[in-house]
Structure 1
């Protein structure tokens, strides 16, 4: 049975993407060749990429024709499947925190077991006889053929055991961690279970042939339905722990920028002699750089307002905040915000009338975010409505 290129294009796209990612990790592997976790990740990516390419129907036909060996694509797919399964288990073993000696011992057992399984597949295919080409239903077609039968069972059991073990390790580990790592593990665990189901369904179709029944649809239609979600969840499960911290950091940075926006809107027009403000377009500037630039500009503005800050304003706002029910720390931040707004008004309306330089909370290292959020306080708004007009009247008098 042959298949058109349209049936294989999805396999090729996924396979080449995985191989490309693997190639991008080669320089790191050269630098850290003794890093078992990185080696397992590279083997996993390489095996997964090769598996997707070799499992494509067109690749099966092409490989059989190129080598001149009927059904040689079957052991090739089995070998990459076993390598992928072993690498997945090896990756989880080295990824999960454990005593170094325990990790090394488990790694040696995994490598030895799956290396022997690879050699056994080659030996069994060489000893068996599979003269009729089968592109998609090789498992069930040769379910009763000596040696080929054992090869099929070996690859399905090796795959199922590795995936089941990896799933159990992921479930157990997920109870010990939090955040994006836990999310990734909770995605990987069912993904591995789907692969276990895949292997079990194919094995059930093989056993049915042994008993004289025909359940070939299990190895065909059913397993095809399981392959896509398993691949998708597996990819997401590995990406989430890697990308999660970075995404979370970007989200925190953007949240801080939004929280600083009220303070920025209040002091962005403050004259800051000697300070250099570089324009940072948001669409091509990393959020972390934007946040650093924004904080620098805010500190420059606060420093420029220091000579116009009136301690009397701070005391007035502090007492008002305490009377309003605020605790001392909240009242202090509210008072700082009120004093800055009053200083901004004084600088705008009477720039030559500087007071004795007053050290503001921001200059003392107070977090700018609470200071920015305090601008929404009713105390600050009331002060702007009543205290600033009093300043104007006093100036006119």
Structure 2
């Protein structure tokens, strides 16, 4: 079989996994006794090696370099078994449970799958596989002594690990929420698809034992499962890690969008004594930008406090209630109207209203309802009733 587009897919996925593994090595060096971190690094390393070594070109190259026909088979099978064991080990340590029980299951998992790797290598050397097979090794040597035992051993070991990991993911997903639950719900079908992969190959091998030919179950049918498994596995492991951060970023961006009307209205209000550092949106993290924007808005409201007229607010509040708003919405609309009037009074250089307190009427300003009130269709009507200039009615 010659190299094709499939090789590139194998290599890209493999090198990405190895790069992620390399990024975790400094943390592993600092926390060498962290079983969960070790399991995740082993999983990433084994998965990366598995993808690279399973590429058809890699199989041919490894056989040629070593001069041993089909040596790539036990190599790939050993790495695949390591990946299966690492997956199960990661789920065991990832899932919360009694520490003693987790340690016992971890030791059992390591011992069992280390033994399988040794058995795969030993059975290959005990058998005889002289004719190179790149894609149909499992069925071609399904009746060869020792080689058939090697094939069945690795398929069963992988199937058991993937079935157990899939069931654990499904059970655990019922106990958690958010990104972790989503990740587990994606990982479970990925593991169960690998079980289907193993079953298809075992059926094809058993067919050879019965003298029948079901080789198509190995190639192309089982090969078609590799792509969705790789995608689901990557998404499943990424969601619990990136999901919470992504959710926080989405919440921050939503708040920035909600604050946009208030920011447009007050961004040019002079704030003597307040330091406003420029925060370009293209190179400022959203959370920092939100904090800076809220600080600037609070400074602007504080600067407008001497110009805020409680009578304006009271008049606007009554008008908002008559316009059909409930108490909370009418209060926010009245505060917004008072701030716009205060802004225009400050901008025009008019004197401060007599008897105005040094702080706005509301001591704890809730910026989001205030910003939402600026987009209210009733606000222009209120501003007109308060004889606010037309420019203010359009919120600049």
**Take 2:55 and 2:146, find their aligned partners in 1: how far apart are those partners?**
25
Give the C-alpha shift of residue 101 in structure 1: 2.0
**Take 2:351 and 2:24, find their aligned partners in 1: how far apart are those partners?**
62
User: Which residue of 2 is the match for residue 383 of structure 1?
Assistant: 382
The C-alpha deviation readout for 1:217-275, integer Å capped at 9, x for no partner, is 11111111111111111111111221111111111111101110111111122122222
Give the C-alpha shift of residue 28 in structure 1: 0.6
State whether structure 2 residue 90 is matched by structure 1 residue 99: no
Q: Which runs of 5+ in 2 are unaligned?
A: 390-396
**Take 2:381 and 2:286, find their aligned partners in 1: how far apart are those partners?**
34
State whether structure 2 residue 316 is matched by structure 1 residue 317: yes
User: Which residue of 2 is the match for residue 246 of structure 1?
Assistant: 245
**Take 2:108 and 2:388, find their aligned partners in 1: how far apart are those partners?**
81
- SS for the counterpart of 2:282 is helix
Q: More deviation in 375-384 or 246-255? A: 375-384
User: Which residue of 2 is the match for residue 90 of structure 1?
Assistant: 89
Matches within 5 A, 1:362-373: 364-373=363-372
Q: More deviation in 290-299 or 63-72? A: 63-72
> Does the C-alpha gap of structure 1 residues 6 and 372 become closer, same or farther in structure 2, counting only changes over 3 Å?
closer
- SS for the counterpart of 1:221 is coil
Give the C-alpha shift of residue 315 in structure 1: 2.3
- SS for the counterpart of 1:220 is coil
**Take 1:96 and 1:220, find their aligned partners in 2: how far apart are those partners?**
36
Q: More deviation in 320-329 or 29-38? A: 320-329
User: Which residue of 2 is the match for residue 29 of structure 1?
Assistant: 28
User: Which residue of 2 is the match for residue 305 of structure 1?
Assistant: 304
State whether structure 2 residue 115 is matched by structure 1 residue 116: yes
User: Which residue of 1 is the match for residue 52 of structure 2?
Assistant: 53
Matches within 5 A, 1:202-281: 202-281=201-280
- SS for the counterpart of 1:10 is helix
CA contact (8 A) 1:308 1:357 kept: no
**Take 1:66 and 1:265, find their aligned partners in 2: how far apart are those partners?**
68
CA contact (8 A) 2:186 2:236 kept: yes
**Take 2:18 and 2:388, find their aligned partners in 1: how far apart are those partners?**
70
CA contact (8 A) 1:47 1:83 kept: yes
TM-score, normalised via structure 2 length: 0.92
- SS for the counterpart of 2:78 is helix
Give the C-alpha shift of residue 357 in structure 1: 3.6
Give the C-alpha shift of residue 345 in structure 1: 1.9
User: Which residue of 2 is the match for residue 137 of structure 1?
Assistant: 136
CA contact (8 A) 1:263 1:375 kept: yes
**Take 1:358 and 1:331, find their aligned partners in 2: how far apart are those partners?**
23
**Take 1:348 and 1:191, find their aligned partners in 2: how far apart are those partners?**
63
Q: More deviation in 105-114 or 199-208? A: 105-114
The C-alpha deviation readout for 1:153-207, integer Å capped at 9, x for no partner, is 0100011111111111111122222222222111111111111111110111100
CA contact (8 A) 1:181 1:240 kept: yes
The C-alpha deviation readout for 1:9-50, integer Å capped at 9, x for no partner, is 221221111111111110011111111111111000000111
User: Which residue of 2 is the match for residue 395 of structure 1?
Assistant: none
User: Which residue of 2 is the match for residue 200 of structure 1?
Assistant: 199
User: Which residue of 2 is the match for residue 360 of structure 1?
Assistant: 360
User: Which residue of 1 is the match for residue 393 of structure 2?
Assistant: none
- SS for the counterpart of 1:283 is coil
> Does the C-alpha gap of structure 1 residues 341 and 169 become closer, same or farther in structure 2, counting only changes over 3 Å?
same
Matches within 5 A, 1:183-198: 183-198=182-197
Q: More deviation in 319-328 or 15-24? A: 319-328
> Does the C-alpha gap of structure 1 residues 108 and 351 become closer, same or farther in structure 2, counting only changes over 3 Å?
farther
**Take 2:140 and 2:40, find their aligned partners in 1: how far apart are those partners?**
34
**Take 2:78 and 2:386, find their aligned partners in 1: how far apart are those partners?**
81
Give the C-alpha shift of residue 322 in structure 1: 4.5
CA contact (8 A) 2:306 2:352 kept: no
**Take 2:52 and 2:79, find their aligned partners in 1: how far apart are those partners?**
10
Aligned residues: 388
Give the C-alpha shift of residue 294 in structure 1: 1.0
**Take 1:16 and 1:66, find their aligned partners in 2: how far apart are those partners?**
21
- SS for the counterpart of 2:128 is coil
> Does the C-alpha gap of structure 1 residues 306 and 73 become closer, same or farther in structure 2, counting only changes over 3 Å?
same
CA contact (8 A) 1:70 1:133 kept: yes
> Does the C-alpha gap of structure 1 residues 231 and 200 become closer, same or farther in structure 2, counting only changes over 3 Å?
same
**Take 1:134 and 1:109, find their aligned partners in 2: how far apart are those partners?**
34
